[in-house]
């Protein structure tokens, strides 16, 4: 088990999904709380409500990067390289999950289970964030790598509470 999963397990047990977990990690790094944003991220869970939708690690990661580099107020501008930043993350995710045959939530969850030598993961057709933990940790590490490569300040506060 990736060491990051030890930190995430309490949140997983509390019912947060993959997209929410990435945002919770980012908010923790920023020493912020934003329950409204975390709640909104639940809309990305389980492939935007059905397992054939995109994996929350892709969409949640894009949202995390948007929080760091996007426009959020009339007097702000998005980081000029936001599109390239998002493209780099999406390309990494596509390459990482290519062997699974796609980037949908259920396809990724099944591919990760197969990598672990398991038949499947989750309950009642819902992928288990703990089962996706290795990829979640990789996604977080990729986000941190991109933050550094694009010279973003992960600790800059957005002014939201």
11-15, 53-57, 61-65, 66-70, range with the lowest pLDDT = 11-15
Residue 154 lies in a domain: no
Return d(Cα 41, Cα 63) in angstroms, integer: 8
Total structural domains in the chain?
1
What token pair was written down for 51? 């397992």
> What is residue 70's DSSP assignment?
S
Confidence (pLDDT) at 159: 46
Tell me which residue range forms the domain holding 43.
3-149
Contact 161, 35 (CB under 8 A): no
> What is residue 99's DSSP assignment?
G
Average pLDDT over residues 80-103: 96
Residue 160 lies in a domain: no
pLDDT at 160 over 60: no
Return d(Cα 30, Cα 119) in angstroms, integer: 38
Residue 156 lies in a domain: no
Residue 134 lies in a domain: yes
The whole-model pTM stands at: 0.89
Average pLDDT over the chain, rounded to whole?
Answer: 88
Residue 15 lies in a domain: yes
Give 126's strand partners: 123
Residue 155 lies in a domain: no
pLDDT digits 0-9 by tens, 71-82: 999 999 999 999
């Amino acid at each position: 088990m990736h060491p990051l999963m030890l930190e995430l397990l309490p949140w997983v047990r509390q019912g947060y999904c993959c997209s929410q977990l990435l945002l919770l990690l980012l908010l923790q790094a920023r020493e912020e709380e934003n329950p409204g944003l975390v709640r909104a991220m639940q809309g990305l869970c389980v492939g935007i409500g059905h397992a054939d939708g995109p994996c929350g690690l892709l969409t949640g990661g894009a949202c995390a990067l948007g929080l760091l580099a996007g426009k959020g107020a009339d007097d702000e501008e998005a980081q000029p390289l936001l599109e390239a930043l998002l493209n780099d993350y999406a390309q990494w995710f596509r390459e990482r999950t290519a062997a699974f045959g796609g980037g949908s939530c259920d396809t990724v969850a099944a591919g990760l289970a197969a990598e672990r030598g398991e038949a499947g993961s989750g309950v009642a057709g819902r992928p288990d964030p703990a089962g996706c933990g290795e990829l979640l940790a990789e996604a977080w590490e990729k986000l941190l790598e991109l933050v550094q490569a694009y010279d973003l300040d992960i600790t800059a506060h957005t002014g939201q509470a």
